[in-house]
Amino acid sequence: MSRTVWFSCLCWIASISAAAPPQVLKVEPPDWWAGHSVNPVRLFIHGTSLSGAHLDASPGLTFSNLRVNAAGSYVFVDVSIAPEATPGSHPLKLITASGTTVVPFSINAPLPARNPPGITRDDIVYLIMPDRFADGDPSNDDPAISKGLFDRAKPKSYHGGDFKGIRDHLSYLKDLGVTAIWMTPIYDNNNRANPDGATDYHGYGATDLYNTDEHLGSIAELRELVGAAHGIGIKVVQDQVVNHVGPTNTWVTDPPTPTWLHGTVATHLNESWQVWTLADPYASASIRREVTDGWFANFLPDLNESDADVRQYEIENTLWWVGTAGFDAIRQDTWPYVPRDFWHDWMAAIKRQYPSLTVVGEVFEGDPALVSFFAGGQEHGGIDTLVDSLFDYPVYFQLRKAFAEGGSLIEIPKMLAHDRLYPNPDVLWTFLGNHDVSRFLSEKQVDPASFRLALTALFTIRGVPLLYYGDEIRMLGGDDPDNRHDFPGGWPGDPRNAFLSSGRTAAEEEIFDFTRKLAHLRASLPTLRMGSTRNLIVQDQVWVFARYTSGSVAVVAINNGTSAATLTIPVDNLPVREAAVLRRNLTTGSAIKVTSGQISLVLPSKSAELLTSE
């Protein structure tokens, strides 16, 4: 052997002996179910010094398609779980030329037969920002691994709300008439404050998609919340974020694949917000790419769903959360910014495992032609997104204009006339506000009477009504973060407790009682939940419409004007007989009789009535 070859061999042996042993930092997903619709499941093993790794066989498991990324920081491997695999811990042995380490992994027993019911027209959804609702466990307010982010005096710091706080007040929600709660994301988020001092208390800057935010509680506590909600008939909706992650996510500096993200901190596109270009037949590919590939708000790293590993990761992550926590439905953030073909595959994977689980997508646009472009049940570009529902922002904007700004009521039924664009408009989610906009009562300083009219419309038109936490007690607030105040009474030592009647002001109690009445009326009247709609009178400040089924009818009359309205309302084309008596539900007074196919009604200014057949 030549001296040169001998020296090369010595260097190679020295490099092997000096190389660091492999280290596993995280396994995603950490466990999976026998008998699941996804089998094999792809494991994403994150660590150091993983180059050249292979895995030893484990009872009940077989491995295929093992790959290691160029940086030696990720191992990808497809793991097939045998039907007869024993539930429990099944650690994998990872071996490289420099050593051996253990990859923790568990097999779960097959999922129970429970099929999540999803959200239907029978539901009333209540949106909660967990950090701002109630602090049930002060011990997690300032956890050791992320000290210094808790300060109730700062609007963009953590305030201490958590899973236990929500669980402690489920009876309040049940009494209000709520049938489902939607929590903003509960993923582990940025454990350090952003440069401007803001924290990710809101949940939209994920750093760990397989764990809960330590300020909110553990995964076990999340399960307890979901179980307690189910125990009293309340569904739970998970807020998921597929489009992007937080700026301090490890993927920013250590991406699993070269195409895991769209660009880098230095090279990424800025999100243009021009969602309309996705439906524009004249838009160039480069213009559309700014929408789908740009970093949200120019700093939230955009995941690349064209990367096959990203697609698999996100599908598995969605299914893992539903199986682990028992969620009933999913609210998906920033729907338009992700390619349609991914949504098709993602939805198909959900439906294979959970046929009745429903997904509502966020399309924050006021044009119904654009919003309906993203609806499931129809193809665009040869692709059906398959999504079950969308938020009805077009109607939201008109409700705001009419009742918060004194605009014409005509614009609401005019917008509802665009229902012809949607495959299933009856399941659109309707609302007066949420965590992204100013509080309804702070818009143009809305008076309580106008708010009551807006609530009446919300609970009686088609769709699935959504309440933003605190709206039922007239909470005020401008734009983010002023629209995210703590619920009074949710914290030990609060001067009053608005969860109780005794802790509410007279004005708060009035709105609470009115909201509760509407919620319970909707629950008791199939016409409001399942009925068809017919407009009976449409004027600038008066709108009368009917919700009806084959055997019953509800007539909703709204006067948004400043003077009384005397109305003659035709009902001869509705399933109500001559001389039938219609009962008042929102005001006192005698019942109203159908005469010559009509009813007569006097509505005072800024008032509404709901008439139902007896």
Q: What is the DSSP string of 55-108?
A: E--BTTEEEEEEEE-TTS-EEEEEEEE-TTPPSEE-PEEEEETTEEEEE--EEE
pLDDT (average), residues 119-146: 97
Q: Model confidence over 428-459: pLDDT tens digits? A: 999 999 999 999 999 887 899 999 999 999 99
pLDDT at 14: 39
Q: Which residues pair with 608 in a beta bridge?
A: 558
pLDDT (average), residues 593-603: 97
Could you tell me how far CA 545 lies from the centroid of its own chain? Answer: 31
Task: Count each helix (H run) and each strand (E run) in the chain, helices first.
Answer: 13, 28
Neighbours of 258 (CB within 10 A): 11
Mean pLDDT, the chain, rounded, equals 95
Cβ–Cβ < 8 Å for 374, 499:
no
CA dist 238 and 228 (Å) reads 16
Find the range with the poorest average confidence among 481-485, 490-494, 586-590: 586-590
Give the H or E element holding residue 99: strand 99-103
Burial of 502 (0-12, 13-18, 19+ CB in 10 A): exposed
Cβ–Cβ < 8 Å for 585, 608:
no
pLDDT (average), residues 572-596: 95
pLDDT (average), residues 227-241: 98
pLDDT (average), residues 390-401: 98
Q: Model confidence over 78-101: pLDDT tens digits? A: 999 999 999 999 999 999 999 999
pLDDT band at 357 (very low <50, low <70, confident <90, very high): very high
CA dist 153 and 211 (Å) reads 27
The phi and psi torsions of 595 (rounded to 5 degrees) equal -130, 125
Q: Model confidence over 288-342: pLDDT tens digits? A: 999 999 999 999 999 999 999 999 999 999 999 999 999 999 999 999 999 999 9
Q: Model confidence over 145-187: pLDDT tens digits? A: 999 999 999 999 999 999 999 999 999 999 999 999 999 999 9
Is-above-0.75 flag for pTM?
yes
Give the H or E element holding residue 557: strand 553-559
pLDDT at 18: 53
Buried b (16+ CB within 10 A) or exposed e, 214-237: bbbbeeebbeebbebbeeeebbbb
Cβ–Cβ < 8 Å for 235, 181:
yes
Cβ–Cβ < 8 Å for 339, 347:
no
Instruction: Please report the domains of the chain, with CATH numbers, ordered by start residue.
Output: 3-108 (2.60.40.10), 125-248+307-524 (3.20.20.80), 532-613 (2.60.40.1180)
pLDDT band at 197 (very low <50, low <70, confident <90, very high): confident
Q: Model confidence over 490-548: pLDDT tens digits? A: 999 999 999 999 999 999 999 999 999 999 999 999 999 999 999 999 999 999 999 99
pLDDT at 4: 44
SS3 368: helix
Q: Model confidence over 2-57: pLDDT tens digits? A: 444 444 443 433 344 458 999 999 999 999 999 999 999 999 999 999 999 999 97
- Asked if pLDDT for residue 1 goes beyond 50, the answer is no
pLDDT at 57: 78
Q: What's the order of all strands across the beta sheet hosting 54-55?
A: 54-55, 92-96, 99-103
185: nearest Cα among 215, 147, 142, 148: 215
pLDDT at 191: 72
472: nearest Cα among 510, 506, 503: 510
